[in-house]
């Protein structure tokens, strides 16, 4: 009787011990890393990706290119101010053409000079720079065409004996808005530039 009881007790213990071992920390199954360690590894990986993206966004340029871009930005700002002044003159002058014609002549000259400076900048860009900025360059070409159309409309209106000052003011304000958009493209390019 005692032998049977001992055998039964051993059988039960052998069945229970593996289950208890699986339930204890470190027993059975695969070892899992602490959650804190996993979070640190994930954050480190994300930070590494962010650094790589910032490095890729940086575009190497020469000091001359940076200076030329800033000169272009200044020219665009001058045109923006001239367009604003023309809009104010047109509102005050009504159909008096001479004050508006004088300002429009100056605006046209400034616009032509800005285009020349912009062309010099574009010609200085290396193929990899043009590729990196191709979307901005495309937008700037669209803005240039729109600004040219506004300026031509002003000049066409001033060809009349009694030009419509309201029409000229509207076109001048639109040109001012376009020059602001043009400057924004330059300034985003400047942010991406890195000069050794």
Q: Which pLDDT tens digit goes with each residue over 112-144?
A: 999 999 999 999 999 999 999 999 999 999 999
Q: Which helix (H) or strand (E) holds 139?
A: helix 134-158
pLDDT digits (tens, 9 = 90+) for 147-175: 999 999 999 999 999 999 999 999 999 99
Asked if 168 and 154 touch (Cβ cutoff 8 Å), the reply is yes
Cα 122–149–156 angle (5° rounding)? Answer: 135
> Rounded to an integer, what distance in angstroms lies between the CA atom of residue 9 and that of residue 4?
9
Q: Encoding tokens for residue 25?
A: 């920390």
- pLDDT bin (cut points 50, 70, 90) of residue 40 is low
């Amino acid at each position: 009787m005692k032998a049977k009881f001992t055998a039964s007790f051993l059988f039960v213990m052998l069945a229970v011990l593996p289950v208890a071992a699986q339930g204890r920390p470190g027993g059975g199954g695969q070892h899992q890393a602490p959650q804190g360690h996993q979070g640190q590894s994930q954050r480190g990986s994300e930070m590494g990706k962010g650094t790589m993206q910032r490095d890729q966004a940086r575009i190497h340029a020469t000091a001359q290119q940076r200076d030329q871009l800033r000169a272009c930005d200044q020219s665009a700002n001058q045109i923006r101010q001239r367009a604003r002044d023309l809009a104010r003159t047109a509102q005050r002058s009504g159909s008096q053409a001479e004050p508006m014609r004088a300002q429009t002549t100056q605006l046209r000259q400034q616009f032509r000079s800005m285009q020349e400076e912009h062309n010099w900048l574009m010609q200085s860009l290396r193929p990899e720079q043009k590729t990196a900025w191709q979307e901005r360059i495309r937008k700037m070409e669209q803005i240039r065409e729109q600004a040219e159309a506004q300026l031509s409309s002003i000049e066409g209106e001033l060809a009349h004996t009694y030009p419509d000052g309201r029409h000229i003011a509207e076109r001048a304000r639109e040109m001012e808005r376009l020059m602001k958009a043009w400057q924004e493209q330059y300034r985003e390019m400047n942010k991406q530039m890195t000069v050794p």
